[in-house]
């Protein structure tokens, strides 16, 4: 039987476990500080815990939920992709991206993805299971340790890896609570972004939280007909109610919403598509992130040329739509958006 992941326990649950072990209350503070403030990766690194307690913890819990299987680095050394094995030998990928002014981790929320977006390698591989809270946090902690070893700090977290975060809503929200809580990791909510294809009921639920966490909607098409071809989830949650929920989010939170739009040559990248997009989002407090589609093995259409991307951007900007082109990173190591797919069982 697999040991319990200690990062899966809420702080109050961990405190109760220690109390059941006969430990004084201050031990839970020491343990939580070691986990979330010092980012220790093994129990024997906790200097304030007695050896008897360390032995007991090691017998009952797994501290690090991830085993590093491999690491790939892009040619410019600015992107690293980690392949992790989980306790059940399923695998996920996590990407660390380095910019001039920030260091961002792109984390996964599921093993695979059930939504089947046709251009996405993760969607092409299907769905296995949700990640637990500890497996989500483990990705962040791994990258924090990596950066700290270089004298740097993690600045941003994006839920843009494998999976649909809103289909693992409760675990993702609990992980975020742990990330931002002052007595836990104390990470700024405004430095976290959730990316979703737009599950309208969950978007409405998220809106009611009035969270400071950023929200990005993967739109990719301006009409229901085209979006349903690219993003099958659109058949369940079409554009009209989805965009109404987006406006509701903006009006309630007063926070700017991002729309992600992957440009595909000859599919969704014409000036007419740009004008259709403008008509859908005009007047909303939003920003459009454009990116040429990254290649994936089972999708035949290439990303748009740089000239077409610039032309699409020009149409949006002429209409006063805040928009920009997102840089593509780690494409040659399949670390770009929509390229994560190496979730297989370990030998």
pLDDT of residue 124: 77
pLDDT of residue 239: 97
Q: Kindly report the CATH number assigned to the domain that includes residue 212.
A: 3.20.20.70
Active site residue 337: yes
Non-local CB neighbours of 154 within 8 Å, separated by 6+ positions: 103, 104, 105, 140, 143, 144, 147, 187
Cα 58 to the center of its chain, rounded Å: 30
Active site residue 93: yes
Whether residues 54 and 102 fall in one domain = no
What confidence tens digit (pLDDT) does each residue in 18-47 have? 999 999 999 999 999 999 999 999 999 999
pLDDT of residue 331: 53
**Other beta carbons within 10 Å of 331:** 16
Among candidate residues 46, 36, 65, the one with its CA nearest the CA of residue 179 = 36
Whether residues 43 and 95 fall in one domain = no
- pLDDT above 70 for 338: no
Kindly indicate the confidence band of residue 74, based on its pLDDT and cuts at 50, 70 and 90.
confident
* Final residue in a domain of this structure, among 30, 62, 94: 62
Among candidate residues 93, 99, 145, 156, the one with its CA nearest the CA of residue 334 = 93
pTM for the structure as a whole:
0.93
Task: Provide the angle, in degrees to the nearest 10, between the axes of the packed helices 271-281 and 239-253.
Answer: 50
Is 148 among the domain residues? yes
Among candidate residues 347, 346, 338, 344, the one with its CA nearest the CA of residue 122 = 338
Kindly indicate the confidence band of residue 337, based on its pLDDT and cuts at 50, 70 and 90.
low
Whether residues 189 and 318 fall in one domain = yes
Is 67 among the domain residues? no
| Number of compact structural domains in the chain | 2
What confidence tens digit (pLDDT) does each residue in 204-249 have? 999 999 999 999 999 999 999 999 999 999 999 999 999 999 999 9
Residue of 38 and 124 predicted with greater confidence: 38
Is 80 among the domain residues? no
pLDDT of residue 341: 56
Contact between 240 and 223 under an 8 Å Cβ cutoff? The reply is no
- Active-site residue (options: 120, 150, 337, 345): 337
Whether residues 160 and 308 fall in one domain = yes
Contact between 93 and 81 under an 8 Å Cβ cutoff? The reply is yes
Whether residues 250 and 304 fall in one domain = yes
Cα 229 to the center of its chain, rounded Å: 24
Task: Using alpha carbons only, give the angle 308, 312, 317 rounded to the nearest 5 degrees.
Answer: 145
Percent of the chain with pLDDT over 90: 81
- pLDDT above 50 for 66: yes
Indicate the average pLDDT of the chain: 91
Tell me what the mean pLDDT of segment 56-82 comes to.
92
Q: Kindly report the CATH number assigned to the domain that includes residue 48.
A: 1.10.150.530
- pLDDT above 80 for 345: no
Whether residues 56 and 116 fall in one domain = no
Kindly indicate the confidence band of residue 260, based on its pLDDT and cuts at 50, 70 and 90.
very high
Domain that holds residue 26: 4-62
Tell me what the mean pLDDT of segment 320-333 comes to.
74
Is 339 among the domain residues? no
Is 69 among the domain residues? no
Whether residues 131 and 217 fall in one domain = yes
Please tell me the total number of residues recorded for the chain in this structure: 347
Tell me what the mean pLDDT of segment 265-290 comes to.
97
- pLDDT above 50 for 305: yes
Is 315 among the domain residues? yes
Whether residues 56 and 91 fall in one domain = no
- Active-site residue (options: 80, 93, 135, 164): 93
Whether residues 247 and 186 fall in one domain = yes
Whether residues 43 and 90 fall in one domain = no
Is 68 among the domain residues? no
pLDDT of residue 106: 95
pLDDT of residue 24: 92
What confidence tens digit (pLDDT) does each residue in 171-203 have? 999 999 999 999 899 999 999 999 999 999 999
pLDDT of residue 119: 86
Task: Please tell me whether residue 50 adopts helix, strand or coil conformation.
Answer: coil
Is 347 among the domain residues? no
Whether residues 31 and 128 fall in one domain = no
Whether residues 30 and 167 fall in one domain = no
């Amino acid at each position: 039987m697999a040991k319990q992941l200690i990062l899966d326990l809420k702080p109050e649950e961990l405190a109760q476990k220690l109390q059941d072990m006969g430990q004084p209350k201050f031990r839970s503070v020491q343990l939580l500080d070691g986990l979330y403030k010092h980012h220790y990766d093994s129990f024997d690194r906790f200097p304030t815990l007695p050896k008897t307690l360390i032995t007991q913890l090691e017998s009952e819990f797994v501290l690090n939920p991830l085993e590093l299987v491999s690491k790939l680095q892009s040619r410019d050394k600015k992107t690293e992709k980690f392949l992790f094995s989980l306790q059940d030998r399923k695998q996920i990928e996590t990407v660390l991206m380095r910019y001039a002014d920030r260091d961002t981790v792109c984390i996964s929320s599921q093993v695979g993805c059930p939504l089947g977006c046709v251009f996405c390698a993760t969607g092409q591989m299907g769905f296995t299971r949700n990640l637990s809270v500890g497996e989500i946090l483990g990705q962040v902690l791994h990258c924090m340790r990596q950066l700290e070893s270089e004298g740097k700090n993690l600045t941003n977290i994006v839920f843009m890896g494998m999976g649909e975060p809103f289909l693992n809503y409760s675990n993702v929200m609990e992980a975020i609570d742990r990330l931002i809580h002052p007595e836990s990791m104390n990470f700024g909510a405004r430095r976290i972004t959730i990316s979703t294809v737009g599950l309208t009921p969950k978007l409405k639920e998220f809106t009611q939280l009035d969270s400071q966490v950023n929200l990005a909607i993967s739109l990719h098409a301006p009409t229901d007909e085209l979006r349903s071809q690219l993003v099958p989830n659109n058949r369940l949650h079409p554009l009209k109610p989805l965009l109404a929920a987006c406006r509701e989010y903006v009006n309630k939170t007063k926070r700017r919403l991002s729309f992600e739009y992957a440009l595909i040559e000859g599919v969704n990248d014409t000036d007419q598509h740009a004008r259709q997009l403008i008509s859908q989002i005009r007047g909303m407090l939003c920003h459009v992130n454009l990116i040429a589609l990254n290649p994936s093995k089972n999708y035949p259409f290439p990303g748009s040329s740089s000239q077409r991307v610039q032309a699409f951007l020009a149409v949006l900007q002429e209409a006063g739509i805040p928009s920009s082109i997102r840089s593509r990173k780690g494409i040659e190591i399949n670390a770009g958006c929509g390229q994560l797919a190496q979730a297989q069982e370990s030998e």
